[in-house]
């Protein structure tokens, strides 16, 4: 069974940092683009970043460029999102998902709350 | 950025009835559109991509459309189908966008 499990979310003050992790199992992780998507309370999902299979290409939404960094460790079947200079508007559930078009599967998500 | 607009915001349907959900793109996305179902406290689940049902999705779900107008049809609503549904375009690589969702509730 394909599975993605996120971790690393929590409460952080504005300007702070967090590192999210996503552990993949049940499929050949190194063969797939991977994506981070976030969903603010009561809103639709929002694409954040994605990364090519070998990590050579990375893409970000404009509002997180220069603050967030996506990376992966194919040896450990893991995806990461380093988030710096966090803002209140970054508050959301963050999901990792497989794919470079439609997304399937998604993890269960990890909540990031940015508040003082 | 391509804006995805879903309608209606809320759809009240009785079990066993047909539900028709709409998604409109601000510019053509060809057939590069997906539909997801999300239940409270859960992650979105892929239902349809390129008008094709994803693995394990019941035949009562179908997707149609191309260009700027798309429809998700649930032919006979079951109790487990009451949820929020989102459309997503993946035409503009790498910047994908989602709609704001349609909530299907019990009438």
Is residue B40 within 8 angstroms of chain A, CB to CB? no
Nearest to B56 by CA among A44, A1, A98, A27: A1
Q: What is the DSSP string of B51-81?
A: TEEPTT--TTEEEEEETTEEEEEESS--GGG
Q: B45 and A106 in contact by Cβ < 8 A?
A: yes
Q: B90 and A102 in contact by Cβ < 8 A?
A: yes
The nearest alpha carbon in chain A to B100 belongs to A44
What is each CA distance from B44 to A31, A43, A63, B40, B88, in whole angstroms? 22, 13, 23, 10, 11
Q: What is the DSSP string of A28-44?
A: -GGGS-EEEEEE-TTS-
**A79 touches A22 (CB < 8 A):** yes
Banded model confidence at residue A9, pLDDT cuts 50, 70, 90? very high
Of residues A86 and B106, more confidence is placed in: A86
Nearest to A83 by CA among A71, A74, A75: A71
Tell me, what's the pLDDT at B93? 82
The residues of chain B scoring below 50 in pLDDT are none
Shortest distance between the Cα of A15 and any Cα of chain B, in A, equals 25
Tell me, what's the pLDDT at A90? 98
Give contacts of A 10-39 with B, CB under 8 A.
none
Tell me, what's the pLDDT at B94? 82
* Mean pLDDT of all residues in A44-59: 96
Ramachandran assignment for B67, one of left (phi > 0), alpha (psi -120 to 50 degrees), beta (any other): left
Is residue B35 within 8 angstroms of chain A, CB to CB? no
Is residue B9 within 8 angstroms of chain A, CB to CB? no
User: How many residue pairs bridge chain A and chain B with CB atoms within 8 Å of each other?
Assistant: 56
Q: B43 and A61 in contact by Cβ < 8 A?
A: no
Partners of residue A44 in chain B, C-beta under 8 Å: 86, 98-101
Tell me, what's the pLDDT at A100? 87
Q: Which of B46, B54, B86 sits opposite A44 (nearest CB)?
A: B86
Banded model confidence at residue A43, pLDDT cuts 50, 70, 90? very high
Tell me, what's the pLDDT at B31? 96
Tell me, what's the pLDDT at B99? 97
Q: Which of A47, A95, A103 sits opposite B95 (nearest CB)?
A: A47
* Mean pLDDT of all residues in A81-96: 98
Nearest to A107 by CA among A1, A5, A2: A5
């Amino acid at each position: 069974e394909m599975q993605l499990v996120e971790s690393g979310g929590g409460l952080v003050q504005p300007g702070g940092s967090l590192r999210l992790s996503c552990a993949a199992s049940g499929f050949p992780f190194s063969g797939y683009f991977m994506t981070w998507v976030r969903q603010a309370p009561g809103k639709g999902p929002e694409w954040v970043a994605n990364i090519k299979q070998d990590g050579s290409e990375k893409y970000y939404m404009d509002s997180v460029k220069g603050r967030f960094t996506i990376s992966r460790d194919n040896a450990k079947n893991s995806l990461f999102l380093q988030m710096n200079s966090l803002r209140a508007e970054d508050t959301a559930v963050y999901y990792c998902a497989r794919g470079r078009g439609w997304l399937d599967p998604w993890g269960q998500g990890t909540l990031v709350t940015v508040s003082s | 950025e391509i804006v995805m607009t879903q309608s209606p915001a809320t759809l009240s349907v009785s079990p066993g009835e047909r539900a028709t959900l709409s998604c409109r793109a601000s510019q053509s996305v060809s057939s590069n559109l997906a539909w997801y179902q999300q239940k409270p406290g859960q992650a979105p689940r892929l239902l349809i991509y390129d008008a094709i049902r994803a693995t394990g999705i019941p035949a009562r779900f179908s997707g149609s459309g191309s260009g700027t107008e798309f429809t998700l049809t649930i032919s006979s609503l079951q109790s487990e189908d009451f949820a929020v549904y989102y459309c997503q375009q993946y035409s503009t690589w790498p910047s994908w966008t989602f709609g704001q969702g349609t909530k299907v509730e019990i009438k």
